[in-house]
Amino acid sequence: MEQNQYIVALEIGSSKIVGALADKNPSGMVTLTRLVEEKMINCVHHGTVRNVENVKSSIARILKNISDSIDGHVTQVYVGIGGRSVHSEVSEVSRSLDSSKPITTDIIENIIRDASRNTVKNYETIDVVPRTVYVDKNETKIPVGQIGSSIKVKVNLIVAKPAVKMNLSHVMSMSYGIGVKKYYVTPLVTGECVLSDSERSLGCMLVDIGAETSTVSIYKDDSLVYLVTLPLGGRNLTLDIKNGCSVLEETAERVKQNISNPLDPQNVDSFVIEGVTSNEAASYIAARTGEIIANIDKQFDYAGVTKDDIRSIVLIGGGSQLQGLVQKMAEVTKLKVSIGQAPKSLNIRDLRYNRPEYYAVLSLVSKAASDIRPGETCIERNTYEAPDITPPPADGPTPPPADDDNRQRPSKRKGWWGKFKEKFENFATDAEDDENYN
């Protein structure tokens, strides 16, 4: 009998680690069934794991929580890669062609493979995204089958400092035998799962504002044009209040969360928390937010696109929830700005999980659900042997064995217990087959 598949994904951020569990039924419906997070500070810096032991322990607790929720144990996970050093670099390769023969898929794949071999000093290529193809200097979306004398393929190499993936791999290898099914580049997956086809086609900037970083992805004509990670995020606002007002970070965060209109310091509700006034805190928030927006706006120039090429900006991440941010960014960029939506392919029953700060991990689990092959699963369910309820022998002498001719024949009727046991044995066999297949 075809059974549900379980998908587990992890997003390891600077302020927290989030694990998500989804259930994919035989008809293909994917339902988010659990989301677990562990908050932490100074263990992951700008997306790179610094404290391996603490991160490993947090991951172990998350996976145990997920395992216990479904009476099984996690065997493998999908893991997202992000952080300050993750960005795109353009690589292109040109070839002369035999103009008497049409372009084939093999030709395109070989050129993309050659383009991906170009290296960026001090960086590791973690993914390759095809961007543009030119046949005889004319841009084309469908090069296969065309005839020409030359071809040029342009791709985006997604690169990161080697420590990003190396430290992640080290942490996962220490996590009690849990295997990594696949690493995903988180910004690429969120762009695929959060943005609509029309947004990517018409031109869109996706901004994921996290705790310590903000990732900017620009799409045009269905292709990724530019990707960069800025070392600025929501925690910078908190640290500015902390340093400016000489208070603990916990106090600064509480003040920030309680300000009703932080980007308009002159019109905030007046209050004082541990000596910090709302007006003073709002002035720090407004100044730093202005800097973040200015840096985001500057990425159009760095990407080599104009605002005429882009129709909208979509915000996700915990930092996107700052009151007044959408309006302020629209005012500065002169573009339509909105908060993104959760992946439409994911059924989210618990509304607590349908929040922008979780859209990255929700995108990871949604992408994994589409990639997982039939019969694969990230969780093995626990199986149990049926109890032996054979009644003890009655007191008294044991009767002698009967002759073969007089020995009692077993009943052909199985009874309810026999039928149950048979079903249980079939179930256990199916579970073992699934385990061997995986």
pLDDT (tens digit per residue) in 32-89: 999 999 998 888 887 788 888 889 999 999 999 999 999 999 999 999 999 989 999 9
- pLDDT (0 to 100) of residue 146: 94
Class of domain 87-160 (CATH, top level) = alpha beta
Question: Is 157 in contact with 307 (CB distance < 8 Å)?
Answer: no
pLDDT at 266 over 90: no
Strands (E), 28-137: 30-39, 44-45, 48-49, 72-74, 76-81, 87-96, 124-135
Give exposure, 318-352, as e/b (b: 16+ Cβ within 10 Å).
bbbbbebbbebbbeebebebeebebbeebebeeee
Q: Name the range with the highest mean pLDDT among 129-133, 339-343, 398-402, 410-414.
A: 339-343
Q: Is it the case that residue 403 has pLDDT exceeding 70?
A: no
Q: Quick one: pLDDT at residue 127?
A: 95
Position 420 scores a pLDDT of 36
Considering the chain, what is the average pLDDT of its residues?
88
DSSP 117: T
- Return the domain boundaries, the chain: 87-160
Do residues 168 and 79 touch, judged by C-beta distance below 8 A? Answer: yes
Going by pLDDT thresholds of 50, 70 and 90, the confidence category of residue 157 is very high
Confidence of residue 400 (pLDDT cuts 50, 70, 90): low
Amino acid at 92: E
Phi, psi of 327 (to 5 degrees): -65, -40
Above pLDDT 90, what percent of the chain? 73
Judged against a pLDDT cut of 60, whether residue 140 lies above it is answered with yes
Instruction: Give the span between the Cα atoms of 365 and 244, in whole angstroms.
Output: 40
Is residue 227 within 8 A of residue 86, CB to CB? The reply is: yes
Residue 158 above 60 pLDDT? yes
| pLDDT at res. 53 | 87
Please give the average per-residue pLDDT across 354-370, as a whole number: 97
Residues 6 or more apart in contact with residue 138 via CB below 8 angstroms: none
Q: How many CA atoms does the CB half-sphere of 413 hold within 13 Å? A: 2
pLDDT at 176: 61
Closest CA to 280 of 290, 269, 265, 264: 265
pLDDT digits (tens, 9 = 90+) for 8-28: 999 999 889 999 999 999 999
CA distances from 303 to 90, 200, 205, 216, 224 (A): 11, 15, 11, 10, 11
Report whether pLDDT(431) > 70: no
Res 406 pLDDT > 60:
no
Q: Which positions ≥6 away from 243 have C-beta within 8 Å?
A: none
**pLDDT for residue 168:** 87
Please report, for residues 197, 223, 248, 255, the alpha-carbon distance to residue 314 in angstroms, rounded to integers and kept in the order given: 13, 16, 33, 27
| pLDDT at site 395 | 59
Other beta carbons within 10 Å of 381: 16
Mean predicted confidence (pLDDT) in 423-429: 41
- Taking the C-alpha atoms of residue 421 and residue 390, their distance in angstroms, rounded to an integer, is 13
The Cα angle at residue 37 between residues 31 and 42, in degrees rounded to 5: 145
Query: What is the Cα–Cα distance from 80 to 56, expressed in whole angstroms?
Result: 15
Q: Give the pLDDT band (50/70/90) at residue 422.
A: very low
Candidate from 46-50, 183-187, 196-200, 222-226 with smallest mean pLDDT: 46-50
Residue 251 CA to residue 241 CA, distance in Å, equals: 9
Tokens of 144: 């296969």
Quick one: tokens of 404? 């073969």
pTM comes to 0.84
pLDDT of the residue at 407: 43
Q: How far is CA 113 from CA 92, 123, 188, 200, in A?
A: 11, 18, 19, 25
Q: Is the pLDDT of residue 245 over 90?
A: yes
Instruction: Quick: pLDDT tens for 105-123.
Output: 999 999 999 999 998 999 9
pLDDT of residue 170: 82
